[in-house]
Amino acid sequence: MIMRRVIEAFGADYLQWRVLTRAMLKSDFRGASGLNMGATTASSTGPGLLIGSLIMYFLMGIGVAMIVGYTAWASSTDSAEIVHRGTLLGGTTGLTMVAVIVAMAVLIDFQSVVISPTDYDILAHQPVSSRTYFLVKLTNVLVYTLAIGALVGGTATFPVLFLAGPLAALGWMVALAGITVATTLTMVSCYAVLLRVVSPHRLRRALSYVHLLLMLAVFCAPLFLTQVLEPAFEIAQAQGGIPTPPWLILAPPAWFASVLALGAGEWNMAYPFAALASVASIAVLLRHARSRLSLGYAESLAQMTTVSRPNVRSAAPRHSRRFRLPRELSVVTTLVRGQFRDDMTFRLGVLGMLPATLMYFFLAVRDGPLPDPFVEFGFYPMGLGLLHFAAIGFPLAMLETLFRSESFPASWMFFAAPTDRARLVVNSGLCVTVLFVAPYMLVFFGIFAWSFANLWHAAAHTLVLGLIAHLAIQMLLLVAPRLPFSQPPKKGGRMASLIGMIVVGMVIAVFLPLANGLAYSRTAFTIAYIGGLAVLGVLMPLAVRRGVRSRVERLEFAG
């Protein structure tokens, strides 16, 4: 059997690889699909969630296909002949987008496959070699990343087939598989190298910082590519075509895209060497990852969960006497702080939103101050719209991170103790408002004050956005009530939930100018508008508590 020969060629035990891989995948898919969008209640897991996640990645794939097709068509230097000369630029652009999405999926959802502190406790006493362990871990993450890569990049096969023929389409599929594997190996290698250079008692903090830097790099990659290719697009507007920059072949995605170009008959002296470089890069990454991702790697991760930290006395009690929160809210905020400190998955999920937020802030203000919505009515330009989208979408995404945790078995107390579960649900949303939305809005106020040159306008608009974000959070809890940190994490669920909540925020932000245009037209209308939102902000948690009480009482312990 071919698979047996491949596995044994790596020096691994085929039977152990098959059994362990099957066990891990069954564990991932048990109870809910491994690529689901996250269950909203105890009974909401099922194939519908998997379908929703597949649709999300498929829609991304349609966008990639449109960009690949347009770039390949527009970069032809001779419109009278079949488009072959644009395949390198179009392929590089599309493969870069696929690599970014796959890297985001690994960082947001599948870092738990690479960073699994329990592996050593389970496998250390078993006769499993390091090479077998490596192939099991690699196979597990590749199952997901290759599926995502196929959904995101597979649709681009059709424009390539139409523009450049069947050989080019075959080359695109080979390049797509190659860039997906290379991206996965790169992310795995980054985490593996970190464990070799950082001691266990500093590993938690180091993982947080490295995860933050990797997320920032992934989010900035499309922006950097856009800035680099901007001169080419300016030439395209003037000359009616997009020239392929000669330096493009130096970019790693172009190495894989050269396979597409060769299949399209676009022969160039550099393309065969670039194709060989793509194969060599995978071989180097595979060799590097194999030497790093071993049982010794798993042992280092296991030490992270057992190493003791110094007991540092906190000055929080004195501070809490001055600013005492309501008792129920204080319980949830204390739980969130503890999870952020001890639950690495939750911490990485929270910190992962910071690079996206910074990128949206940069995109919003890079062209200068934003227009004042109290002066310029109608639909907002792109910069202000991006900020509205971030102000509403990211708090909703933050709320989604509050419900899943590796420590979900500890949520038994919510089901055993005589607690008011409806209050816990409502206070989960209030916790996001207090700990995230409130400081988040201070940043928005600073940007608006700089842009509007009017502190009253900046304060009023910031208050409106904060109240709408608070109402959106409570509405989400009304639709899908869940207890904090009571559900197990699902591979693929965090990425899909994040994008789903951002889409909801985008829809709200699109219709926001309609309400603001009327409310900001007169001072009396503005005061009434803010007052109405404030009253709704006070009443909404009470309504949610009454509306979800019967449903949360029927929730079952997931452990």
Helical ranges in 30-128 per DSSP H: 47-74, 87-108, 111-114, 119-123
Cα–Cα distance for residue pair 332/414, rounded to 1 Å: 12
Retrieve residue 221's tokens: 């990659």
Q: Which residues pair with 404 in a beta bridge?
A: 487
Q: Give residues with Cβ within 8 angstroms of 466, minimum separation 6.
A: 391, 437, 438, 441
pLDDT value of position 117: 55
pLDDT value of position 335: 86
Retrieve residue 300's tokens: 């280092």
pLDDT value of position 75: 57
- pLDDT tens sequence across 53-93: 677 788 888 888 887 877 766 555 443 333 345 678 788 88
Report the pLDDT averaged over residues 149-168.
88
pLDDT value of position 52: 62
- Lowest average pLDDT, out of 58-72, 104-118, 534-548, goes to 104-118
pLDDT value of position 46: 44
Report the pLDDT averaged over residues 135-159.
87
351: exposed, middle or buried (Cβ count in 10 Å: 0-12, 13-18, 19+): middle
pLDDT value of position 358: 81
Cα–Cα distance for residue pair 399/151, rounded to 1 Å: 27
| Tally of residues, the chain | 559
**What is the 8-class DSSP label of residue 489?**
-
pLDDT value of position 360: 79
- pLDDT tens sequence across 374-391: 887 656 666 777 888 888
pLDDT value of position 528: 93
pLDDT value of position 230: 62
Cα–Cα distance for residue pair 93/115, rounded to 1 Å: 30
pLDDT value of position 269: 83
Of the candidates 182, 200, 142, 192, the one whose C-alpha atom is nearest the C-alpha of residue 292 is: 192
pLDDT value of position 540: 94
Domain extents for the chain? 59-306, 325-553
- Lowest average pLDDT, out of 51-65, 87-101, 143-157, 270-284, goes to 51-65
pLDDT value of position 416: 83
pLDDT value of position 273: 92
Sequential DSSP letters for 124-137: TTS---HHHHHHHH
- pLDDT tens sequence across 472-523: 999 989 988 988 888 877 665 566 666 666 677 677 777 777 777 788 888 8
Q: Give residues with Cβ within 8 angstroms of 310, minimum separation 6.
A: none
pLDDT value of position 466: 93
What is residue 404's three-state secondary structure?
Answer: strand
What's the mean per-residue pLDDT of the chain? 76
Residue 102 has pLDDT above 80, yes or no: yes
**How much is the CA Rg of the chain, to the nearest whole Å?**
26
pLDDT value of position 559: 62
pLDDT value of position 144: 84
Confidence of residue 33 (pLDDT cuts 50, 70, 90): very low
* 491-517: burial string, b at 16+ Cβ within 10 Å, e else: bbbbbbbbbbbbebbbebbeebbeebe
Residue 124 has pLDDT above 80, yes or no: no
Cα–Cα distance for residue pair 352/503, rounded to 1 Å: 18
Highest mean pLDDT (candidates 7-16, 38-47, 113-122, 317-326): 7-16
Report the pLDDT averaged over residues 254-276.
87
Residue 196 has pLDDT above 80, yes or no: no
Confidence of residue 116 (pLDDT cuts 50, 70, 90): low
Residue 368 backbone zone (phi > 0: left; psi -120 to 50: alpha; other: beta): left
pLDDT value of position 474: 93
pLDDT value of position 460: 92
Give this prediction's pTM: 0.69
The percentage of the chain sitting over the pLDDT mark of 90, rounded to a whole number, equals 17
The percentage of the chain sitting over the pLDDT mark of 70, rounded to a whole number, equals 70
- pLDDT tens sequence across 441-461: 999 999 999 988 889 999 999
Residue 325 has pLDDT above 80, yes or no: no
Cα–Cα distance for residue pair 536/146, rounded to 1 Å: 46
pLDDT value of position 270: 86
pLDDT value of position 35: 39
Instruction: State how far the alpha carbon of 190 is from the alpha carbons of 63, 187, 205, 225, 246, in Å.
Output: 29, 5, 15, 22, 30
Retrieve residue 328's tokens: 């129920």
Residue linked to tokens 């347009």: 70
Q: Which residues pair with 487 in a beta bridge?
A: 404
pLDDT value of position 314: 47
CA angle 294, 109, 552 (to 5 degrees): 125
- pLDDT tens sequence across 226-235: 666 566 556 5
Retrieve residue 65's tokens: 């296909």
